[in-house]
Amino acid sequence: MNPELVGVIAGTALTFFILSYLVGDNPLYRLGLHLFIGTLVGYSFGTVLREVVVRTALPGLVSRPASVGPAVLLGVLLLFKGFPRHAFVGNLSMAYLIGVGAAVAVGGALAGMLAAQVAATGRALAPASVGNLRFGLADGVMIVVGTVSTLLSFTFVRPKAQGGQEWWGRLLGGVTWVGRLFLVSALGIAFAGALTSSLSILIGRMQYLVDAFCGLAGW
Amino acid sequence: MRRIVRKWIPIFIAVTACLLTLGGYMFPQTQLGEYRDQLIEWAVIIGAFAFVLGLFNIVMVHGKRASSLGKGWVYSLVLLVSALASWVPPLIEGPSGKMTDKMFEYVMAPLGASLAALLVFTLTLAAFRLLRTRRSPWSLLFIVVVTLTLLGSTPIAGIEWLSDIRSWLIGVPGMAGIRGLLLGVALGTVITGLRVLLVHDRPYSEY
Amino acid sequence: MIYCPNCGTANRKGSRFCSECGKSLPSTGTRCPMCGTINPVSNVYCEACTARLSPMTSAPEENGKGDEDQPLRGTPSSTVPLDEAEAEQTARASAEGPGSEDWLEALRESADEAGEREEDEDDGQIEESAQPPNQADLPDWLRDMGPVGGERHRSSGRGAFWLSEDSGEETASEEGQAENEVGEREDSPDEGRRRVASGDEGALRPDGEAADVPDWVADLRERTDGASTRPGREPSAEEEPLKEEAEVGHSQAEQAQDEEIFGERPKLEESPRWLSELMEEPPADRDAPSISTEAPPADNELKESPRSADMPDWMQQLRPRGEARRDAPRDAPETEGLLRGLQGLIPPASPGIESPSLDRASSPVVPSEVIRARAELLQSLLGHSASSPRLAVGKERSGSAARPVEQWLVAIVLLVTVLGMLLFPLLTGETPQLTQPGGGSEAPQLYEIVNALDSGDEVLVAFDYGPPEADELNGVAQPVLEHLVDSGAGISIVSTRPDGPPMAAALMGEIADSSDRYRLLGYRPGAGTAVSQLLAAADERPTLLLIVTTRPGALQRWVEQASALYGDQLPVIAVGSALLQPITSPYLDANAGQLRAAVHGFREAASYEALRGAVGEATQRLDALAAGHIAIVALMIAGAVVHGLGGAGGRGS
């Protein structure tokens, strides 16, 4: 039998395995799911071995051992995490990973997110920016108010309303309400995006099945 | 001694690595910039070992289940066999090899895409039942926004103006809401990173 | 730190599952019986619903163990974060301290004997830990209440001493430690009372004469006096065998009673005991009250119980061994409220784990007639509720029955719509043309940016998607990548997903006539770290960065790291799924300038194809997408009408 044909039949069958979940949880679905995870695990393992160990670490150990050696050593130590009694040895590597990871995340958040987006929010009311918006200043104000109120709506601690501070509580409550308005809008848009995206994937799968049947039927 | 090895050395490593890397972001033109690149390169290599460790963990868990004939052992066996069969092609051929390509085309793409396609049914059902589970003005607002966005993204003849409304929704209130969210996430990231730097959080330590 | 009973891995405090083997970890908190919230073990009341977390014991334990390792009921607990190891060391240091009292001397002897194995393993730690505790760490109220000398040291540190006992370091030492704890408890029977007696008399007096003693304490004392044990009174040597006999005799009677009830109906074993009793018709000739107020079955009964064979391994390991069994938590009868006199209604915390409050059995409370009447009433209500509230059951059934119907409705409508739109051109030879490409998209801007590239430019393409998203993103990315290849710019492809490079290889294999037109630089693990490394390790700074992804997190990492490393010197564009559009909007804002242009989903990709004068996958699938959107909106509105006007449940906000 033609290997391509076998492949198409296998792909079609596996598609049906997973879509059979629409009827309910069943062994075919679970089989497909575990097959997918197993294939992904095996593939990922092979890729990591090739890309990092074979193509980066091993040549690096030969050509520039002082530069790559410590990383390989820490990597080997990390494997001790697989043995509960000696797991503490791997904590050295974990500490390194977490330290560098935290710094990368903080650096990205500070320089790549907070600075740029705070500045952009501030510039939303600038005349040059307002001119590009559909409703002009109203849109600019809405962007500023929406950003600030959404951020404030995540405040989990509210000061106790005592005497003269009641106005502050009310103000915060109002801001939270406005923020929720923007948040619900944003989440609605994100939900619609997720629907569109998954619908596009479903269309792709159906197209695959239609093409497969047409091919098998000789249409 | 034991305490030094298990507590203080990891703390020293984490704080030093964090400070040097962060310094590289702050002063990229100095020697710190080079340190940052070197430290990050090491982290990528160590990350590969961590990845392998995670994969081994999956294999061990399913191996135990398959060998003990526990509940669902057949599925675990399928997972193990498929994992064993699929790690060789990418190692030998790389990502653009023929075997790898076929494995993706006939096994991984159908399975993965079908799993992702199931999401649309789940999301639509959730939207269908929204007012059953939560009936409030916010739910109504949510439904209105979703409706306008969906219809505006592929407007049929006669309601093309919905496309403009959708663009405005995404560009003004949607952007403000998402920006607020992203700023919150960034602030949370900074705080978490600072907690690691200040040794307030030690996820790498048993102490 | 929680040690997995299955594999011994140390897991972070608060973990529910082992990070190593995935097995459930024993809870180190106390689960609220009313709302299910996990509370710190030191809490007496639930943080969420303020329900009492443990039954109030009416008296110290029969064998003379007092409250030495238990927080005073109703007193606030320390809210300082607990560092188990340090607390344990502090506790040990105080036991070693020179200022110990007599009872501490005895405690030390027994502790040294029992915990010898542990000290062999970790002798250095004890040396280090023999430091005077920091009195400044003590809250005022605790300092006032605290005892003198070494005992005060036990209370200091970052956590309360009664919590520190469970802070093991290694699985291997846990057993020895457990024995150590048992030794401590048995050899210091009056520790708690001495602590109270030597503390500030204004705070709590053992004779209870202080004016500021709360009512519930007074109530507690009265009941305690009524029982056989008295505070400050140790059981004499003669009493011990008598008590043991009483316990054995009592448990034999209970065992017989259990056999009578459960022996003929093995299925009842699956039910909680109190439920089994409620389900059982009370025998006419039975003298015992229908609500048991007796102590739980004795240890030998537990051993012979067939249920123990069904226990999973990790639970078997948690079962107390040896002497510790005598301290196993028992179902203490409730001593206040409507449930007073009942036992087993509120489950005790898990045995052997940080469970300071239930580690002792109190003397049984003899229920009065009033209490018994209340219990009978409760029992009748419980028995009644299982059959009578037809309304609630019917409502639930209708909800659960409607769910499959709704599922089928959604599935059929969507499948028929999509398949119909795909088959329509095949069957009729006509294309429906429901919608048109374009409309407020960023496609023209992206087109201009790519169009401006020439053969000397270097484009870094981040291919961060895999097989699940390929059905959408292949169609969206194809026109842009074709344009990129046609521009003649150098293309370097990287990925932070292991399944990214083969997707890139497959797609670029279709687009480019030769593999020389692009370079596959491969995959790097590590999310943000990998992104930073890939950007920094590029041979030369790229002219343009193109992000092809479906995931908000990946887009965020690439944009942020590119901004952090290169500022506005590296233009960034994106090709993404429709899901990504709201996330990209802040970056696309001209004021931020972090993303120059982006194309999302089939419609904007179709717009790009139109600019290129081509008809690709995106354009072909646009009608099916439009029809699917209409179907989803129709279903959503129908659901809103049905559930909104139909009067079915729903929460207010």
3-state secondary structure of C602: helix
Q: What span, in angstroms and rounded, lies between the C-alpha atoms of C531 and A146?
A: 31
Chain A, nearest residue to C633 by Cα: A192
Predicted confidence at residue C350, as pLDDT, reads 41
pLDDT > 90? residue C513: no
Phi, psi at C33, each rounded to 5°: -70, -15
**What is the sign, positive or negative, of the torsion defined by CA atoms of C398, C401, C405, C406?**
positive
Q: Calculate mean pLDDT across residues C612-638.
A: 90
- Residue B178: C-alpha distances to residues A152, A174, B74 (Å): 13, 19, 44
C526 touches chain A (CB under 8 A): yes
Counting one residue from A and one from B, how many pairs have CB atoms under 8 Å apart?
A: 400
Mean pLDDT of C8-21: 72
pLDDT band at A158 (very low <50, low <70, confident <90, very high): low
Of C459 and C6, more confident: C459
Q: What is the mean pLDDT of residues B97-105?
A: 88
CB contact under 8 A, A198 and B194: no
Which tokens go with C389? 């509230």
pLDDT digits (tens, 9 = 90+) for B143-173: 999 999 999 888 887 787 888 899 899 989 9
How many angstroms separate the CA of residue A116 from the nearest CA in chain B?
Answer: 10
- Taking the Cβ of residue B173 and every Cβ of chain A, the question of whether any pair is shorter than 8 Å is answered with yes
Higher-confidence position of C289 and B120: B120
- The Cα of A173 is separated from the nearest Cα of chain C by a number of Å equal to 16
Identify which of B101, B129, B178 has the shortest CB distance to residue C583: B178
Q: Which of chain C's residues have a Cβ under 8 Å away from the Cβ of A102?
A: none
Return the pLDDT at B7: 81
CB-CB contact of C435 with B162 (8 Å): no
Chain B partners of A113 at a C-beta cutoff of 8 Å?
Answer: 182-183, 186
| CA pair distance C262, C254, nearest whole angstrom | 12
Q: Which of C265, C279, C268, C269 is nearest to C379 (CA)?
A: C279
H or E segment and range at residue C315: helix C313-318
How would residue C49 be classed by pLDDT, with cut points 50, 70 and 90?
confident
pLDDT at C638: 92
Give CA separation, B22 vs B35, C192, C295, C541, C608, in Å: 10, 51, 62, 21, 40
d(CA A109, CA A114): 6
CB proximity B151 to A under 8 Å: no
Closest C-alpha to C547, from C513, C568, C523, C577: C577
Question: What is residue C523's predicted lDDT score, i.e. its pLDDT?
Answer: 87
Q: What is the Cα–Cα distance from A185 to A164, expressed in whole angstroms?
A: 34
Pairing of strands C458-464, C38-39: unpaired
The reply to whether residue C563 touches residue A210, judged by beta carbons under 8 angstroms, is no
Closest CA of chain A from C335, distance in Å:
36
A 10 A CB-CB count for A62 gives 8
When pLDDT is averaged across residues C152-159 and rounded to a whole number, the result is 37
Give the least confident one: A145-154, A160-169, C166-175: C166-175
**A204 closest CB neighbour out of C471, C550, C586:** C471
Mean pLDDT of chain A: 87
Question: Higher confidence at residue C471 or residue C110?
Answer: C471
For position C210, what pLDDT does the model report? 41
Q: Indicate the pLDDT class of residue C61, thresholds 50, 70 and 90.
A: very low
CA gap C652, C633 in Å, rounded? 24
Please name the amino acid found at residue C651.
Answer: R
At residue B146, the pLDDT reads 94
pLDDT of residue C482: 92
B179: Cβ–Cβ under 8 A, 6 or more apart, which residues? A117, A120, A121, A143, A146, A147, A150, C585, C586, C589
* DSSP-derived secondary structure letter, C46: -
* Position C292 pLDDT exceeds 80: no
Q: State the pLDDT at residue A27.
A: 92
State the average pLDDT over residues B182-191.
92
Share of chain C above pLDDT 90, in %: 14
User: If you measure CA to CA, which chain B residue comes closest to C473?
Assistant: B113
Residue A71 has pLDDT above 60, yes or no: yes
Would you state the pLDDT for residue C341?
52
Chain C CB contacts of B187 below 8 Å: none
Does the pLDDT at position C249 exceed 80?
Answer: no
CA distance C244 to chain A (A): 41
B25 touches chain C (CB under 8 A): yes
Highest mean pLDDT among B158-162, C20-24, C163-167, C471-475: C471-475
CB atoms within 10 A of CB C301: 15
Closest chain A residue by Cα to residue B95: A47
Q: What percent of chain C has pLDDT over 70?
A: 42
- Residue C45 makes CB contacts below 8 A (sequence gap 6+) with C51, C52, C53
Lowest pLDDT segment from B84-98, C79-93, C309-323, C578-592: C79-93
Cβ–Cβ < 8 Å for C293, C341: yes
Instruction: Check CB contact of A199 with chain B, cutoff 8 Å.
Output: yes
Which two three-digit tokens encode residue B19?
């400070």
Q: Is C407 on the interface with A (CB under 8 A)?
A: yes
Six token digits for residue A62: 């030969």
CB–CB of A200 and C522 under 8 A? no
Task: Quote the ipTM score.
Answer: 0.88
A196/C625 Cβ within 8 A: yes
10 Å Cβ neighbour count for C307?
9
Chain B residues within an 8 Å CB radius of A107: 21-22, 24-26
pLDDT in tens, A105-156: 999 899 888 999 999 998 888 877 777 777 778 888 999 999 999 988 876 5
Chain A residue with the nearest C-alpha to that of C591: A120
Interval C96-117: pLDDT, tens: 444 434 444 544 555 445 444 4
For residue C624, the chain A residue with the least C-alpha distance is A203
Out of C4, C472, C579, the one facing A204 most closely (by C-beta) is C472
- The set of chains that have 3 or more CB pairs under 8 A with B is A, C
Please, what is the average pLDDT of chain C? 63
What pLDDT score was predicted for residue C396? Answer: 45
Residue C324 has pLDDT above 50, yes or no: no
Q: How far is CA C527 from the centre of its chain?
A: 25
pLDDT over threshold 60, residue A67: yes
Confidence of residue A84 (pLDDT cuts 50, 70, 90): confident
Q: Name the 3-class secondary structure at C158.
A: coil
Give me chain B's average pLDDT, please: 88
Q: What one-character DSSP code corresponds to residue C324?
A: G
Q: Which of residues 127-146 of A touch B (CB under 8 A)?
A: 133-135, 139, 142-146
Interface test with A, best of B36, B49, B149, B166 (most A CBs within 10 A): B49
Question: Which residues lie below 8 Å from residue C147, measured CB to CB, with a gap of 6+?
Answer: C155, C194, C195, C198, C199
Angle of helix A137-152 relative to helix A166-217, nearest 10 degrees?
100
pLDDT band for position C380 (cuts 50, 70, 90): low
Picking from B72, B75, B177, the nearest residue to A146 by CB comes out as: B177
pLDDT above 50 (res C50) = yes
Sorting pLDDT into bands at 50, 70 and 90, what band is C379? low
The larger pLDDT score, comparing residue C326 to residue A121, is at A121
8-state DSSP, A156: -
pLDDT category, C517, cuts 50, 70, 90? confident
For C593, phi then psi, to 5°, come to: 70, 20
Interchain contact, C621 vs A48, CB within 8 Å: no
User: Would the pLDDT of B78 be above 60?
Assistant: yes
The residue length of chain C stands at 653
Averaged pLDDT, A205-214 = 91
Angstroms from A159 CA to nearest CA on chain C: 19
CA distance C95 to C151: 8
CB of C127 less than 8 A from some CB of B: no
SS3 per-residue string spanning C261-313: HHCCCHHHHHCCHHHHHHHCCCCCCCCCCCCCCCCCCCHHHHHHCHHHHHCCH
Q: How far apart are CA A172 and CA A156, in angstroms?
A: 11
Structure tokens at A129: 């920016």
User: Measured in whole angstroms, how far is the alpha carbon of residue C468 from the centre of its chain?
Assistant: 29
- pTM score, two decimals? 0.64
